[in-house]
Amino acid sequence: MSIPVLSVVGVDFVRDGRAILDHIDLEVERGQHWALIGANGAGKSTLLSLLGAVQHPTRGTVEVLGKRLGRVDLRELRTLIGHVNPRHSLMNPLTARQVVLTGGTGGTELPMRWSPSAAELARADYLLELLGMGALTEARWPNLSQGERGRTLIARALQSDPHVLLLDEPSTGLDIAAREQLLDRIDQLREQHPDLASVLVTHHLEELPASTTHAMLLRDGKVVAQGAADEVLTTALVSETLDYPVTITRTEGRWAVRTRRDPARERRDDALAGEQSVAQA
C-alpha cells in the first residue's frame, strides 16, 4: 500500500480564539490534482500553509510522504514540497534563470559565494522551457509580466524535484490571455509528470485547469464536500459553499459559473431592506 503524498487527519487551526479550520481530513495521492474552493476567509490558504509546512495545526496531524509535522526537520520536509506564491518578493533584480535556481537553495535570493552545478543549470533551463519561458531565461524579474512571473515561479517550485506542488491562487493579477496560457502550461506540466501531486487554491472556478481531478469545498473553516471533481463541483454543493445561488457548467474540461435568480432570497432581501428603511425613518 503506497503512502499518501499528503495526509491531514482531524486538523483544527485556531488563531486568537477563532477556529480558522475545524476538523479537516484530506488525503492526496500521487498523480491527483486537488482544488481547494471557497469564499474569502473560508480557510483555503491556511490549509495550504499547513500542507506546505509553513504553519503547524493547533490539533490533529499533517504528514508529507509519511513525515509528520512536529517530528521532522522542516528544512528536509520542504524539499519535498514545491510552493508557488504569486506574491513572491525579491530584493535584487534576478534573472528568470536565477529565480528558478533559488528553488533549490531554500531561499528567495541566491546565497553568497554559491555557484550552481551544471546539472542544476540544465534543470532550470529545462523547466523554463517547459513553462514557455525558454526565450526569457536572462530577462530580469522587474521586466517580466505578471503571467511570466507566474510561470517562472512554477518552474522555481519544481527545481528541487518535489513530490507535491502547492499553488496559492496562481492566476492572481493575470488578464484573460495570461491566465489561459498559465492554465495550459499547468495542464501540460501535469501530463508530462504523471506522478506529481498538486493542490491549487482559488475562489474562482474559471481558474481551475482542466486536469483538476479532485476538489474540496470549504465554508467557514469546515468541509462542505470533497472527492472527485465532477462529483463535488456541482450547482447544489457550490451554491451551498458560497451561500449564493449559482449554476455550474463544464465544457471541454473547464468549469464556468453564472449566477441564477433565487426568488425566495430576493423576497428576504427586499423585506430586510424595507425594515432598515423604516428603522432609519
164, 64 contact by CB (below 8 A): yes
With respect to residue 260, please indicate whether it lies within any of the assigned structural domains: yes
With respect to residue 180, please indicate whether it lies within any of the assigned structural domains: no
Cell numbers 519544481: residue:
158
66: left (phi over 0), alpha (psi -120 to 50) or beta: left
* CA distances in angstroms from 200 to 59, 93, 135, listed in the order given: 23, 28, 27
The one-digit pLDDT tens for each residue of the chain (281 residues) are 678 999 999 999 999 889 999 999 999 999 999 999 999 889 999 999 999 888 899 999 999 888 898 887 777 777 788 888 777 777 788 999 999 998 887 777 777 888 889 999 999 999 999 888 999 999 999 999 888 998 999 899 899 888 899 999 888 878 888 889 889 989 998 998 899 999 999 988 999 999 999 999 999 999 999 999 999 999 999 999 999 999 999 999 999 999 876 655 556 655 665 556 555 55
pTM: 0.85
With respect to residue 22, please indicate whether it lies within any of the assigned structural domains: yes
With respect to residue 246, please indicate whether it lies within any of the assigned structural domains: yes
With respect to residue 25, please indicate whether it lies within any of the assigned structural domains: yes
Neighbouring residues of 202: CB distance < 8 A, sequence distance ≥ 6: 35, 36, 37, 44, 169, 171, 208
pLDDT at position 271 is 63
pLDDT at position 262 is 61
Note down the domain range covering 212: 1-80+199-281
The CATH number of whichever domain residue 261 belongs to comes to: 3.40.50.300
* DSSP assignment string, the chain: -PPPSEEEEEEEEEETTEEEEEEEEEEE-TT-EEEEE-STTSSHHHHHHHHTTSS--SEEEEEETTEETTSS-HHHHHTTEEEE-TT---SS--BHHHHHHGGGTTSSSPPTT----HHHHHHHHHHHHHTT-GGGTT-BGGGS-HHHHHHHHHHHHHTT--SEEEEESTTTT--HHHHHHHHHHHHHHHHH-TT-EEEEEES-GGGS-TT--EEEEEETTEEEEEEEHHHHS-HHHHHHHHTS-EEEEEETTEEEEEE---HHHHHHHHHHHHHHHHHH-
* CA distances in angstroms from 61 to 10, 18, 83, listed in the order given: 7, 19, 20
pLDDT at position 74 is 75
- First-to-last C-alpha distance (Å) of the chain: 69
With respect to residue 188, please indicate whether it lies within any of the assigned structural domains: no
Domain count, the chain: 1
Cell, residue 39: 469564499
With respect to residue 127, please indicate whether it lies within any of the assigned structural domains: no
With respect to residue 9, please indicate whether it lies within any of the assigned structural domains: yes
pLDDT at position 4 is 92
